Amino acid sequence: MSNTPSPKKKSPDAKEPTLRPEQRRRLTTIAIVAVVIGILVGPNLFKTKTVRHFTYSTFLTKAEAHAITSASVQNATGTISGVLSSGVHYTVSGPMPVIPSDIKELRKLGVTVKFANPSSFSRDWLPLIEMLVLFVLVPLFIFSRLSKGQMGGMMSIGKSKAKKFDEDRPTTTFADVAGYVGVKEEISEVVSFLKSPEKYKAIGARIPKGILLVGPPGTGKTLIARAVAGEAKVPFFSVSGSDFMEMFVGVGASRVRDLFATARKQAPAIIFVDEIDSIGRKRGAGLGGGHDEREQTLNQMLSEMDGFDPTEGVVVMAATNRPDVLDAALLRPGRFDRQVVVPLPDLEERLPILQVHAKNKQLADDVNLDTVARGTPGMSGADLANLVNEAALHAVRRDSTTIAMADFENARDRVVMGQLRDGQVLQDDERERVAYHESGHALLAYVLEHSDPLHKITILPRGMALGVTWTLPEEDRHIHSRQYVEDSLCMRMGGRVAELLIYGDLSTGASDDLQRNTELAGRMVREWGMSKRVGPMAWGSNNQVFLGEGLMQTRDYSDDTAKIIDEEVERILREQEARAIEVLTLHRRGLEAVAQKLLAEESIDGETAAQLIDEAHGQAVHPFGKKTVRTMLETTNHDALTAAAKLTEETTPEA
């Protein structure tokens, strides 16, 4: 027996494979194009007769020799065609207009002359084809698309653009969100209600209708929303606030209605609106009133969230980094009942965030992510992700297969201080002035008791600065004492004062320092009550983002008070300048030592600068240890290891 399978017979009921709609449309288009080309080109392809071309004078000469039998003159072009006595066809480009005497002469010579209008496809048939296409084929095409529902772009402009996520995507969960324990607890409560609402209804609890995620840019608000979509196991509709806005009036409100109607049909469900401030701004703000389309969209959203038709089982989540511009009606209970603040991560949260982003990275043995976390205060989750990526890029540039601690240091310099400008070349006198300027900042940062610890000084141009002095706080601060603010003012005066002591004059290099100091001193007087003459009063800036609203507001203090404020700001700045002069004069040898070291090496760390200042002073400025970032980290790590060892000893049972 043969093992070769016998061919299967086709069933008589089996249907032949049919073409897909797009294949049929493609074949139809090809056929139409082929027919048109055939009509235009076909007549020329099938011409078989031989035609001779000669000039008009040759034509007259042949006519006189009785070699021309007939001549057909085209009135529009003057072209003459006909048959020679030998039977060969000819064409001649005759004059325009036709010469009557030549026609008479031809007829006398026995040539049959007739006049004709030329036949042209473009003139005779093209207008008819255009009318047929315009008035017959195009309407038929449009009606066929309408009947098949393929005019979505025009007929569904009021439909919501929200993306629906099912249980399989996104795959992000709360386990992928490092830190933010309190935020995840509040969000988890909503997810739990949507999964098992009967547990809450049994006790009479009502879940918040809306949750607003508020926080600075890059803190992970959208990431948390994606985690909710991954955890909820219910329909999750994601849309951006800008998706509601179009050039047509009323489209935004229509899309809001369609979004909530779709969510109600699939309840329980979650609606997430990212960047809600684009449609939720205060109504009627600005010069000349508000934006009608945006206000209609906002009014519709307010009605949908808390109107006559309750949205049972639909929870609205939104995210913004500008809560101050949102309309009050949007934030009241019954709409966004709960505001969840997503702040910048603190030290305990930065370490797990770094661990998440470094999970798939090849780290060297000398990398200590705890040290990196301590050296990145004020960075958001996005900043930390960028820091890890910049470190990896730096490792690739130096042809390394692992990311070392030095790569993290360079990446932090790149993120905080800006890109190193290798093409920026300073003159020798400018370079020396920048060295003394930065040395003045560094010395005051090290000597002053309440200033932040010194980390690094460089005179290499970075970003927009010609030099940078970098300090880092010992720990995350949420409030600042008056001594800390005054030391910050004095430290920023160090560059200007150092130039004044060394050169006896000033330069433009301190413009940014003076601007920041004036702003900080103004806040001390106007907002923080740190002036005895002004007293416990505050006139803080409302930080209005609407141009019209800011212009329409008036100053809420008198001209006399404004004069006192200006005088107090000037007094504070002059006091800190005099204090900086006193300290730098006392430590002038240390100032010069740090400046010469900078001129020789261009960049030094805080530990080196502290050693130079102590040696020039003749003794340690701080008897309890150098006030630098490295000393701070070493002390913190040592205290942490000591505490861990002590805890281990206490919990280990005796033999």
**Residues identified as active-site:** 438
What Å distances lie between residue 342 and 187, 328, 346, 486, 503, CA to CA? 12, 20, 11, 30, 49
CB 453 within 8 A of CB 629: yes
Secondary structure of 212-235 in HEC code, one letter for each residue: EEECCCCCCHHHHHHHHHHHHCCC
Q: Which helix (H) or strand (E) holds 458?
A: strand 454-458
What CA–CA distance (Å, rounded) separates 602 from 633? 24
Residue in the structure block whose two tokens are 């025009």: 154
Secondary structure of 240-290 in HEC code, one letter for each residue: EHHHHCCCCCCHHHHHHHHHHHHHHHCCCEEEEEECHHHCCECCCCCCCCC
What CA–CA distance (Å, rounded) separates 353 from 360? 13
Which residues have CB under 8 Å from 214's CB, separation 6+?
319, 320, 321, 323, 339, 340, 341, 342
Amino acid of residue 568: E
Query: Based on the number of CB atoms within 10 Å of its own CB, is 322 exposed (0-12), middle (13-18) or buried (19 or more)?
Result: middle
The strand pairing partners of 79, in sequence order, are 93
Amino acid of residue 50: T
What CA–CA distance (Å, rounded) separates 412 from 570? 36
CB 184 within 8 A of CB 173: no
What CA–CA distance (Å, rounded) separates 298 from 326? 10
Burial 79-111 (b: 16+ CB within 10 A, else e): bbbbeeeeeeebbbebeeeeeeebeeebeeeeb
| 432: number of Cβ within 10 Å | 18
Structure tokens at 477: 């601060």
Amino acid of residue 32: I
Secondary structure of residue 79 in the 3-state scheme: strand
Residue in the structure block whose two tokens are 């701070």: 632
Name the nearest CA neighbour of 227 among 244, 213, 241: 213
What CA–CA distance (Å, rounded) separates 126 from 133? 11
Structure tokens at 342: 């997503």
Q: Give me the count of residues in the chain.
A: 655
**What stretches of 75-170 show up as alpha helix (H) in DSSP?**
100-108, 121-124, 126-132, 138-148, 152-155
Residue in the structure block whose two tokens are 């006049």: 115
Name the nearest CA neighbour of 600 among 473, 456, 435, 401: 435
**What stretches of 320-469 show up as alpha helix (H) in DSSP?**
328-331, 347-357, 369-374, 381-397, 405-417, 428-447
Residue in the structure block whose two tokens are 């400018």: 430
DSSP secondary structure code for residue 316 in this structure: E
